[in-house]
């Protein structure tokens, strides 16, 4: 079970990463916010990748929310397992989904902390490669992933694999 407290510094308050169901009200609220951001950046309805809460249930996935000491949800991210299929995934893949940090919490390192916790959890679950799809209009996400060892995937995968703005990345676990 993932449970990680981030100790406060003089400029920051404590943040706790909590495993949370994908359909929890806080997860839904953060997902709605990220969907609005996708719509603003891409001018469409957001990410329409089919997702089911069961995809993020252990041991085949995980979903985390970062909460401050007042219980305010600040950031989110999850992984779901894949096996080789016709969407371009390979046996042992763990796919990052719904990485998001609220604007008021950006710059605190929460995305990096969530990403590390998700990678550790996927590795412990026997996954061998972490994969993710982001978009060309999300330079902050691309910078995070490349700075943490992700490289462009040799072939695109997932729901948006045929879209020009889609960028797929992978990292061996």
Reported as a single tens digit per residue, the pLDDT across 66-86 is 999 999 999 999 999 999 998
Q: Please say if the pLDDT value at position 8 is more than 70.
A: no
Per-residue confidence (pLDDT) for residue 13, from 0 to 100:
63
Q: Per-residue b/e over 57-86, b at no fewer than 16 CB within 10 Å?
A: eeebbbbbbbbbeeeebbbbbbbbbbeeee
pLDDT band at 119 (very low <50, low <70, confident <90, very high): very high
Is the model's pTM score more than 0.75?
Answer: yes
Q: What angle do CA 48, 53, 54 make, to 5 degrees?
A: 125
Instruction: Kindly state the DSSP code that residue 108 receives in the 8-state scheme.
Output: S
Q: Please say if the pLDDT value at position 1 is more than 50.
A: no
For the chain, which domains are there? 4-172 (3.40.630.30)
Which residue in 147, 133, 20, 117 sits closest to 71, CA to CA? 20
Per-residue confidence (pLDDT) for residue 9, from 0 to 100:
39
């Amino acid at each position: 079970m993932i449970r990680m407290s981030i100790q406060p510094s003089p400029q920051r308050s404590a943040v706790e990463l909590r495993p949370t169901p994908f359909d929890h009200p806080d997860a839904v609220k953060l997902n709605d916010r990220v969907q609005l951001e996708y719509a603003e950046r891409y001018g469409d309805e957001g990410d329409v990748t089919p997702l089911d809460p069961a995809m993020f249930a252990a041991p085949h996935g995980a979903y985390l929310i970062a909460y401050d000491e007042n219980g305010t949800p600040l950031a989110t991210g999850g992984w779901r397992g894949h096996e080789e299929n016709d969407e371009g995934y390979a046996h042992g893949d763990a796919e990052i989904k719904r990485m998001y940090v609220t604007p008021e919490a950006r710059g605190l390192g929460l995305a990096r902390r969530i990403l590390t916790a998700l990678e550790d959890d996927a590795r412990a679950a026997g996954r061998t490669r972490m994969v993710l799809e982001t978009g060309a209009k999300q330079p902050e996400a691309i910078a995070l992933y490349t700075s943490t060892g992700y490289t462009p995937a040799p072939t695109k995968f997932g729901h948006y694999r045929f879209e020009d703005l889609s960028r797929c990345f992978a990292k061996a676990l």
